[in-house]
Amino acid sequence: MQLNQVSTAGPTLGTQASSQSSTPVLGQDDFLKLLVSQLQNQDPMNPLDSTQLASQLAQFSSVQELANLNTAVQNQTNANLVLTQSISNTMAATLIGKKVKANTSNIGYDGSTAQTLGFNLPNSAADVQIKISDSNGTVIRTIDAGPKPNGDSTIQWDGKDDAGNAVSAGNYTFSVTATDSQGKAIASTLFVLGIVQGVRYNSTGATLLVNGAEINFSDVQEILGN
pLDDT (tens, 9 = 90+) of the chain, 226 residues, equals 444 443 334 444 444 444 444 555 656 677 677 777 777 777 666 766 667 667 766 776 676 677 777 777 776 665 555 555 555 666 767 888 888 899 999 998 988 889 999 999 999 999 999 999 999 999 999 999 999 999 999 999 999 999 999 999 999 999 999 999 999 999 999 999 988 888 887 776 778 888 888 888 888 888 886 6
d(CA 98, CA 212): 14
Query: What residues does 70 pair with on adjacent strands?
Result: none
CATH architecture for residues 99-225:
Sandwich (2.60)
pLDDT at residue 18, rounded to an integer: 44
pLDDT at residue 220, rounded to an integer: 87
3-state secondary structure of 156: strand
Query: What residues does 213 pair with on adjacent strands?
Result: 210
pLDDT at residue 24, rounded to an integer: 59
Per domain, the residue ranges of the chain are 13-90, 99-225
pTM metric for this prediction: 0.58
